[in-house]
Amino acid sequence: MKSNNQTTITVIAIAIIGALIFSMFSSTPPAISFALGAMLTGLALHFMQENKNLILDELDPSQSSKTLYVGNLPYRANESDVKNLFAEHGDVFAVRLMKDKRTGKRRGFGFVVMNSQDAEHAIDQLNNQEYGQRTLKVREANEPKNADSLDLE
């Protein structure tokens, strides 16, 4: 229901803007300008929705993603360093390194969102590998730790 209210407010706001633009450049009465602005808004929203549907239809289902946990990162590593490291093993969509809220310093772990087909390969290649004089811990983000790998990071 909230999104319908927001859409309605957006349509009215755009219609008012359209009415103002029409009234500035022509001598039409405000009611007609408002009606023209509302009709043009409706057409614009209709075509935007069609384009959105076309884009969604073109998306490749094989482009699903997985989020990987990356632990024991060097504190000086930044998002672009980690993205470049993982990009060697597949498509990287996003990197988020965690920071301490109080100090703003990096905490030594983060998350990498990758193409799900490439994620397993990246885990195999990068888990327990040295990076920046530290041994990386890489696994699927929501995967529980095994009892034998409860080492402190």
Alpha-carbon dihedral of residues 14, 9, 48, 55, nearest 10 degrees?
140
43 three-class SS: helix
pLDDT tens figures, 84-130: 999 999 999 999 999 989 998 899 999 999 998 899 999 999 999 99
> CB neighbours (10 Å) of residue 131?
17
Question: 74, 110 in Cβ contact below 8 A?
Answer: no
Are 34 and 26 a contacting pair, CB within 8 Å? no
Q: Identify the band that residue 153 occupies on the pLDDT scale cut at 50, 70 and 90.
A: very low
Vertex 45, ends 39 and 49: CA angle to 5°?
Answer: 150
Segment 20-52, tens digit of pLDDT: 776 677 676 767 767 777 777 777 766 776 665
Find where tokens 């809220």 sit. 101
Residue 8: predicted pLDDT? 75
pLDDT tens-place string over residues 61-85: 456 889 999 999 999 999 999 999 9
Going by C-alpha positions, the residue among 1, 33, 4 that lies closest to residue 14 is 33
CATH topology of domain 65-140: Alpha-Beta Plaits (3.30.70)
Per-residue model confidence (pLDDT) at position 147 = 47
Q: What is the pTM of this model?
A: 0.54
| Reported confidence tier of residue 151, pLDDT bands at 50, 70, 90 | very low
pLDDT of residue 64: 85
Neighbouring CB atoms inside 10 A of 38's CB total: 17
